[in-house]
Structure formats: C-alpha cells, structure tokens
Structure 1
Amino acid sequence: MKLVGKVALITGGSEGIGLATAQRFILEGAEHVFITGRQQEKLNEAVKKMNAANVTAVQGDVGNLADLDKLVDIIRQEKGRLDIIFANAASCTIATFGDITEKHFDDTFNVNVKGLLFTVQKALPLLVDGASIILNGSNSSIKADAGLSVYCATKAAIRAFARCWILDLKHRNIRVNTLSPGAIDTPLLRSIGGTEEEIQANLATWQAATPMNRIGAPDEIAKAVVFLACDDSSFVTGIELFVDGGYSQI
C-alpha cells in the first residue's frame, strides 16, 4: 500500500507495461488512476480487466495536443490534481537507415518525444509539489539496434528531458526519473517484425543477449515504476533506471 491517496496518470495504459502498472498502482492503494490509449475498445478491455471503480480511461493520442487538453480537463474536473505521471505511451517500428521516410520519423517522434513532452507540460498545473514524474525510456537510449535508429534517438531524447526537468522543477521538489526497460513481453515488442517466425526469432535473439537469459514481464517493470512513484525513492531524481536483465551493462 505504497501509493495510498495518490492520483496517477499513465499514458499508453490499455495494454503491456502501462496496463500492468495501472494494475499495480491499484494494488498499492492509489486513490485514482487515469489511463489513456488510442483505441477505445482496448481501453474498455483494460478497465474490465482491472475491475476497479477508481480507474478512468480516456481515449486519445498523446501526439495530438487537443487530445491532451481534453485529458487534462477530465483530470481537473474529476480529481483536481496529480501526484504521479507515468509517461509510458510509445511507438516502435523498424526502418533501415537508407529507407527511413519522413512519415516514419514524424510518427515516431510525434509519440515518443513530442507526445511525452506535452503530456507532462500540460499536466504541470495539476501536479502537486513533491510529485513524481516517471518517463518510460528504453535501454535503446544507450544500446544500438539495426533498423531502430529513429526509435533509439527518441529514447535518448527522453533521457535528456529527465536531466533538464529536474532543474526546471527543483523549486517545486518534483522528482523526474527515466525508467528504461529491456526486452519485455508486450504487444509492442511482438509487433516488431512480421511473421510469427520472425517474432520468435527476435525474441530468441533478445533473450540470448540478456545475461538473465529471459524476456522480462510487464509486472516487473510496473514494480520498478511503483518504486520511483512512491516515497521509497524520495531522494532519487534524474536517474535512468535500467530494468533489462543486465543487457545494458555488458
């Protein structure tokens, strides 16, 4: 019960890491959890799965500033404040250098960088002093992957945001940390590739490259988010916490 009385926002909360974190926040006693997602059907399924009265699902695209304004208005009307933001929504598709299109670049940066920045900035007036902001990065911020140069660049940008924002927000004692997962078994990870054979080959490659010799589970990331969200990490800010089975350390 580490989040009793806390109001939280989780973007990209309809599946994968976002959904697992929302479930974990509820178990930890959060007063209310707001989740977002692009597809209303998946949001409905997530709410049904959580089966909790203190969850509000808001359909929207973090890359759309009008959608973010709607989200902030709903949070303001329902709770009037935020104690935690987990900026989790992300996009990841393969594009080999030499074949990168303007659309691929724009789509990836629109969600991972622009969407994350304006999610946090627009929510700032609702954040209480002493709040916790967690940015979902990736070990791709420091590790290279063929065909993912644009994605890797967005995750490096997120790391830079955290470093700067701890200075911008220090007068309000708001902590900002980056959580960087490795290969986690989520729909997003499985979407990288094409056929089922290619997906399994990718999973095998990531598993073999991980010292713990396995793919991570979404709830393992969720537990790390809880640590960064609660008072257990009261003297932790500006870090990049790798939760990747050791992959980024070798």
Structure 2
Amino acid sequence: MSTTPLAGKVAVITGGSKGIGAATATQLVSRGARVVVNYGRDTSAAEKLVSTLGADNAYAVQADAASISGVEKLVKSTIEKFGKIDILIPNAGLLTLKDVESCTEEDFDRTFNINVKGPFFLVQKALPYMAAGSSIVLISTTQCYASTVSAPYTLYCATKGAIDQLTRVLSKDLLAKKGIRVNAIAPGPTATDLFLEGKPQQVLDAIAGAHPGKRIGKPEEIAASIAYVVGDGASWVSGQTIKVNGGLA
C-alpha cells in the first residue's frame, strides 16, 4: 500500500490555518497531497502552518470564505498556483450560541454566510476545475443528531441542517453529472478554538464527563476521517453525513 495515496492531488481547505482545518491539511500533506490553506485574519497562524508543512506542499490564501468574491479569489489563486482542484473542504465555520429570543438579524446573516453561503458558492466556483474522481467534504455537526440539544445551538444547527441537505442533494447531482463524490463529516465536541472559546474549564469537564469516552475529541481524529473519505478507499461512499464523535450520538 502506498504511503502517499494522495500524491498529485490538490486540496483546498477553508478555515485551514487552525483546528480541524490545520489538522486536515497536515493529514493530507502526509498522504502526498498539496494543500491550499485559506484563512481570514490570522496571517501568522497560516504562515506557521505553511512553514511546518513546507512551501512545496502548502500555500496560504487570505480570503473571506463567507463571501462570493472571497471564494472566487480562493479558487483563482488555487488554479494559478496548482492548476486544478481534486479535494474541496469548506471547513470555515462560525459557532453562534444564541437562543431564538436573543438572536439578531446580524447574527443570523453572519452565521448563515460563513456556514452555508460560503460553502455553497465555493462548490459552485470550484466545480469547473474539478475532474471526475474528485471529492467534496462538507462539515456538519453531531448536534443535528443528538437526542438532546440546548437552545443556544438553534441557529448553528439550522445552518448545519442546511449542510446536511446540500450533501444529500449535491451528491446525487454531482456524481451523476461529473463523477464527483460529496460527503459530510459531523464532529462531536472537539478541542478547537471555535469550540473551546468562552467555555470555562468546569463546563468542558462536564461535557467530557457526559461522553462515553470521558473526553473531548481531538482535531486530528476528525481530520483522519476526512482523509479517509477523500481517499480511494472511500470510492463508493457518497451522499453520507458521517458522525465522528466517539459514540456520543
């Protein structure tokens, strides 16, 4: 078995400089892919990751992954650098924790823009440069499948429910027309900046304590599942939202 099964492949990851995005970039490069790491504001984190992975393997592009102009810039920069896209991972996201009474129109627009609009139009703009055998992996959440979920997740789950439906419908459309697989990964609680921000240690301990495994997931564990889904071993996996949560839901 090849140690570089993704050799020759080009991957694009939004929100790629930290957390699950950075862990995924690392996993894909270890399998031979070249990776375009999109980031919003933290140039130092993106540059550090590229330095770690090697300039021949990784390329950082600053762009607003929530806007059409931003995803157009990302695609254009990728094609100018590498000439194609084989793996597309719209990973950038916003976790807005507000119940319906406290949610503002600005909260709604910002969250849907980054979690739904950005991925939708990134797929649209990337498709002309993706050949048969390419793979798209969207990011959902285990919260959409949990038997209990708290009110502050209302808006976030609404956006990820949209992602689940995009996965379901796009997978049928794009496999039939272009031979491109579409799947989604639905992480459970994972130790990323997005998840950890604003949570005191006692809350994190309670979340870990309620999990069958008595811990919170690691970004590398989510990344390993993404790396599997985009590989040849998952060539007959399409249209699936795969829960990666250690059995939580």
Provide TM-score, normalisation by structure 2.
0.93
Q: Unpaired runs of 5+ in structure 2?
A: none
The one-letter code matched in structure 2 to 1:38 is: G
RMSD: 1.3
1:120-148 CA distance string (max 9 Å, x none): 11111111111110001111222323311
2:138 is equivalent to residue 148 of structure 1: no
Q: Unpaired runs of 5+ in structure 1?
A: none
Aligned-residue offset at 1:210 = 1.6
Q: Which residue of 2 aligns with 1:137?
A: 140
Count, aligned residues? 242
The one-letter code matched in structure 1 to 2:11 is: A
Which segment drifts farther, 199-208 or 156-165? 199-208
Residues 64-213 of structure 1 aligned to structure 2 (within 5 Å): 64-143=67-146, 144-169=149-174, 170-191=176-197, 193=198, 198-213=199-214
Aligned-residue offset at 1:52 = 4.2
**Matched residues in 1 for 2:16 and 2:232: separation?**
23
Q: Which residue of 2 aligns with 1:33?
A: 35
Provide TM-score, normalisation by structure 1.
0.93
Q: Which residue of 1 aligns with 2:54?
A: 51
Aligned-residue offset at 1:93 = 2.2
Residue identity (%): 39
The one-letter code matched in structure 1 to 2:171 is: I
Deviating 4+ runs (over 4 angstroms): none
Q: Please give the secondary structure, in 1, of the residue aligned with 2:11.
A: strand
Contact 2:131 2:179 in 1 (8 A): no
Contact 1:141 1:159 in 2 (8 A): no
The one-letter code matched in structure 2 to 1:51 is: G
Aligned-residue offset at 1:213 = 1.4
Contact 1:212 1:245 in 2 (8 A): yes
**Matched residues in 1 for 2:32 and 2:58: separation?**
12
2:20 is equivalent to residue 8 of structure 1: no
